[in-house]
Amino acid sequence: MTNSTSKGILHIEGLCAKISGKEVLKGLDLDVKKGSIVAIMGPNGSGKSTLANVLSGKPGYEITAGKIEFNGQDITDMSPTKRGQAGLFVASQYPLEIPGVTPIELMSAACQDLPSEELMRRVELVNKELSMPDSLMERGVNVDLSGGERKRIEILQLLALKKTMAILDELDSGLDVDALELLASMVAKASKDTGMTVLAVTHYSRLLEVLIPTEVHVLVGGTIVRSGGPELAVELESTGYKEFEKL
Ligand code: ADP
Ligand code: MG
């Protein structure tokens, strides 16, 4: 049983959501404790990105039942901007191009209270670790960038803006092994140092060897079908998702 004192920083109850008339999330419950690292795993098409997109408030999704609470506040109908201001950051599986807007301009707009000198100081610090070439900062966000460079830009925003919670949709896609280790270890360090909460969505366990979760949940057919500790990710690496697809 849950009560208000035991709820985590992200609390989802009975979430049902549709996209283009198709019901994708079918009564999803999830509770993520503040400061923890939690993984959502599942086969292709199980609803992982739909969950991440619904949590970001992306337009086009219809929530037909259930609710989402973040930091004790009901955000089910909140705009994406307000969710961001509340400290939630969703790193997309396929980050979009924003021509004409540089990463700095985007971050300034997202965090207007942050003095620009402080933003520049943080960007410089994070970029040094990311080995981000200056040229990427002069272009429009993600314009003509490789998959791996786009993921770097996502992590730059997450860490420079010091978000309270990161939802990472397939951070591993488009990254080679070295880049994956670098980005995952930077996220793990931020979680350890600042208490940032992480919900990592993936279908491979490789990411979770660096970004080590305390809980792993398996999402199949729009609902959580099994939950366990980090050993569940290792088990799924060898068994795959066949047993769940028969459910
Ligand atoms: P995952 O991220 O787990 O691979 P998704 O959440 O992307 O899965 O997709 C779940 C299901 O919803 C899939 O069957 C997919 O085809 C469908 N879906 C996702 N986005 C749309 C959309 N915009 N229109 C119609 N169907 C969609
Ligand atoms: Mg996906």
Report pLDDT digits (tens) over 191-228.
999 999 999 999 888 899 999 999 999 999 999 999 99
Enter the tokens of residue 49: 């990105």
In Å, how far from its chain's centre is CA 97? 18
* Domain definitions of the chain by residue range: 4-244
| Any ligand 1 atom below 6 A from CB of 45 | yes
- Given the CA of residue 46, which atom of ligand 1 is nearest to it? 3
- Given the CA of residue 44, which atom of ligand 1 is nearest to it? 4
- Across 120-134, average pLDDT: 94
- Across 99-116, average pLDDT: 93
Distance from Cα 31 to the centre of ligand 2, integer Å:
20
| Any ligand 1 atom below 6 A from CB of 44 | yes
User: 10 Å Cβ neighbour count for 136?
Assistant: 21
Residue nearest to atom 12 of ligand 1 (CA): 24
CA distance 4 to 23: 29
For residue 111, the model assigns a pLDDT of: 87
- Across 235-242, average pLDDT: 89
If you classify domain 4-244 with CATH, what class do you get?
alpha beta
Report pLDDT digits (tens) over 66-88.
999 999 999 999 999 999 999 99
Query: pTM here?
Result: 0.95
For residue 247, the model assigns a pLDDT of: 59
- Given the CA of residue 222, which atom of ligand 1 is nearest to it? 10
Report pLDDT digits (tens) over 19-65.
999 999 999 999 999 999 999 999 999 999 999 999 999 999 999 99
For residue 2, the model assigns a pLDDT of: 47
